[in-house]
C-alpha cells in the first residue's frame, strides 16, 4: 500500500510539471522576440544613385537583300543548258544558262567577213587617193577626179566603221547567249527548263540572285519620336553616345543576333499613311542566318543621359489609379509608398524621371512582409532571409 501511494504521488507531480511547461510555451508564439514583441522583418533594398545611362529604341523591321539581280535574257532562243543548282551560291560572271548560239555565231561570222571586205576596199581607195594627190599637183589629172577619189576614201572609211560596229553588235549578241550572273549571291528557283524558248528582255525573270552578306535591315520610326530625339539632343537632355551608329538585332522569337550592324541611311520622306520614317542598317551575315523578308527587331542607340536614376522593374508596381509606385525603407524601421514617374525601360530596370532622390532606399525583396505597423530591417538586396514559417506543423505530424 505504501509503494502504491508513492507511485501515485510522483504521477501527480509529473502531470503538474507538464501543465506548467505547456502554459509557458503557449504564452510565447514561435518566432516571437523575447518579451512578446515581433522581430523586424528583413527586406532587401537598393540605394538610389545617379548614373549615366544609354537610351535605345527597339523598332520593328524587315531584312532586305544587299543587292538583287533579276536574270533576264538579252537575246531570244532555245535554252540548251541550265548550269546551276537552285538555292546554291553563285559567283559574279558565272554562267547560269546557255541559249542556242548557232544563229548569232553565223551573224557574227558574216559581220566579220563584211568588215574584212570593207577594209580591203578601203586600202585600194586610199592608194588611189594618194596617187591622185601627186598627179593633181602636176595637173596630170583634173581636180574633179581628185575630189572624187577623196570622197570615195571617206565613204570607204565610213563603211569600215559601220561594219566594225555591226561586227561588235554581233559579238555582243553572241556573248549574250551565255547568260551569266552579274553579282555574287544565292540563286533562287529557275522559271525555265532546258528546251524552253526565251525572248529578249522578257518580263518574266529566268531566276533571281540575291546578295545576302552583308544584308540590309529596314526599320521604321515615328516622325514624332525622331523629332523628340532631335529636341532632346539640342536641349542637352541627351548627348550623343560614342557608338550612336551601332545597331543591335533580335530575331522574331527574341533571340539576339550575334553580329552588330551600322546605321547607314535615314529616309528624308515621312510616309503619309503611317507617319513614320524608314531607317536602314547594314549587318554582316556570314552564316546566312538572316534571310530576305524576315521580321526582326532592331535596337538603335538614341544617346546618353547623365545623372539618371534607375530602379529594378521588380520594385515598381501600380496603384489603383494606375500610377507607378515603389516602397521606400527608412533607417528607423519604417517604410512608405512613393508615387514615381517612369520613362524608358533599360534592360531589367526602369528609368525614373521624377519621384526619387539620390540616397533613398527602394525595397526590391520582401515586399510581401510589409504590413501596417510592421517594423522592417533594411539589408542589401540578396541578403534578406526567407520569411519564417510560423505555425508550420512539425515533420511527421
pLDDT of residue 79: 96
The answer to whether residues 247 and 357 belong to one domain is no
The answer to whether residues 80 and 199 belong to one domain is yes
pLDDT of residue 240: 59
User: DSSP secondary structure string, 77-136?
Assistant: EEEEEE-S-TT-EE-TT-EEEEE--HHHHHHHHHHHHHHHHHHHHHHHHHHHHHHHHHHH
What CATH number is given to the structural domain containing 231? 2.40.30.170
The Cβ of residue 217 has, within 10 Å, a number of other Cβ atoms equal to: 26
Alpha helices in 287-394 (DSSP H): none
The answer to whether residues 88 and 152 belong to one domain is no
The answer to whether residues 283 and 320 belong to one domain is no
Q: Which residue range is the domain that position 159 belongs to?
A: 101-176
> Has this prediction a pTM greater than 0.75?
no
The answer to whether residues 227 and 281 belong to one domain is yes
The answer to whether residues 110 and 145 belong to one domain is yes
Distance between the two ends of the chain, CA-based, in angstroms? 41
The answer to whether residues 285 and 365 belong to one domain is no
The answer to whether residues 200 and 85 belong to one domain is yes
Q: How many domains does the chain have?
A: 4
- DSSP summary character for residue 239: B
The answer to whether residues 298 and 218 belong to one domain is yes
pLDDT of residue 146: 86
The answer to whether residues 226 and 295 belong to one domain is yes
For residue 336, give the nearest of 349, 325, 350 by alpha carbon: 325
Q: Print pLDDT tens along the chain (397 aa).
A: 444 444 544 444 455 444 544 444 444 444 444 444 578 888 889 898 888 887 777 888 999 999 999 999 999 999 999 999 999 999 999 999 999 999 999 999 999 999 999 999 999 999 998 898 888 888 888 889 888 889 999 999 999 999 999 999 999 999 999 999 999 999 999 999 999 999 998 999 999 999 999 999 998 888 777 777 677 666 665 555 555 567 889 998 889 999 988 888 777 788 778 888 888 889 999 999 999 999 999 887 777 778 888 888 888 988 888 899 999 989 888 888 999 988 877 778 888 888 888 889 998 988 888 888 888 888 888 765 555 444 344 333 3
Contact 299, 250 (CB under 8 A): yes
pLDDT of residue 78: 96
pLDDT of residue 347: 77
The C-alpha atoms of residue 233 and residue 66 are separated, in whole angstroms, by 31
125 lies in a domain?
yes
The answer to whether residues 316 and 253 belong to one domain is no
Rg, Å, the chain Cα set: 45
Amino acid at each position: 500500500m505504501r509503494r502504491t501511494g508513492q507511485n501515485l504521488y510522483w504521477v501527480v507531480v509529473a502531470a503538474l510539471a507538464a501543465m506548467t511547461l505547456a502554459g509557458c510555451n503557449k504564452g510565447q508564439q514561435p518566432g516571437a522576440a523575447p518579451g512578446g514583441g515581433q522581430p523586424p522583418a528583413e527586406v532587401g533594398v537598393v540605394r538610389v544613385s545617379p548614373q549615366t545611362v544609354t537610351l535605345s529604341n527597339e523598332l520593328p523591321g524587315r531584312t532586305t537583300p544587299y543587292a538583287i539581280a533579276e536574270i533576264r535574257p538579252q537575246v531570244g532562243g532555245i535554252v540548251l543548258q541550265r548550269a546551276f543548282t537552285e538555292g546554291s551560291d553563285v559567283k559574279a560572271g558565272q554562267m547560269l544558262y546557255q541559249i542556242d548560239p548557232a544563229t548569232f555565231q553565223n551573224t557574227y561570222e558574216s559581220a566579220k567577213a563584211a568588215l574584212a571586205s570593207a577594209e580591203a576596199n578601203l586600202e585600194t581607195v586610199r592608194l588611189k587617193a594618194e596617187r591622185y594627190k601627186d598627179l593633181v599637183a602636176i595637173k596630170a589629172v583634173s581636180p574633179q577626179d581628185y575630189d572624187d577619189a577623196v570622197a570615195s576614201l571617206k565613204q570607204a572609211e565610213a563603211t569600215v566603221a559601220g561594219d566594225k560596229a555591226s561586227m561588235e553588235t554581233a559579238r555582243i549578241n553572241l556573248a549574250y547567249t551565255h547568260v551569266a550572273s552579274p553579282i555574287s549571291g544565292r540563286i533562287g528557283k529557275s522559271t525555265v527548263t532546258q528546251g524552253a524558248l526565251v525572248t529578249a528582255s522578257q518580263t518574266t525573270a529566268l531566276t533571281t540572285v540575291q546578295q545576302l552578306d552583308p544584308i540590309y535591315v529596314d526599320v521604321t520610326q515615328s516622325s514624332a519620336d525622331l523629332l523628340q530625339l532631335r529636341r532632346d539632343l539640342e536641349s542637352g537632355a541627351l548627348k550623343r553616345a560614342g557608338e550612336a551608329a551601332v545597331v543591335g538585332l533580335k530575331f522574331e522569337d527574341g533571340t539576339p543576333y550575334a553580329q552588330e550592324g551600322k546605321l547607314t541611311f535615314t529616309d528624308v520622306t515621312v510616309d503619309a499613311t503611317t507617319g513614320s520614317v524608314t531607317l536602314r542598317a547594314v549587318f554582316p551575315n556570314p552564316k546566312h542566318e538572316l534571310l530576305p523578308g524576315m521580321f526582326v527587331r532592331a535596337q538603335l542607340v538614341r544617346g546618353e543621359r547623365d545623372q539618371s536614376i534607375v530602379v529594378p522593374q521588380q520594385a515598381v508596381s501600380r496603384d489603383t489609379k494606375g500610377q507607378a509606385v515603389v516602397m521606400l525603407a527608412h533607417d528607423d524601421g519604417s517604410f512608405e509608398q512613393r508615387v514615381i514617374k517612369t520613362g524608358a525601360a533599360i534592360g531589367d530596370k526602369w528609368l525614373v524621371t521624377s519621384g526619387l532622390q539620390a540616397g533613398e532606399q527602394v525595397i526590391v525583396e520582401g515586399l510581401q512582409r510589409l504590413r501596417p505597423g510592421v517594423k522592417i530591417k533594411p539589408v542589401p538586396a540578396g541578403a534578406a532571409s526567407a520569411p519564417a514559417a510560423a505555425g508550420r506543423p512539425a515533420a511527421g505530424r
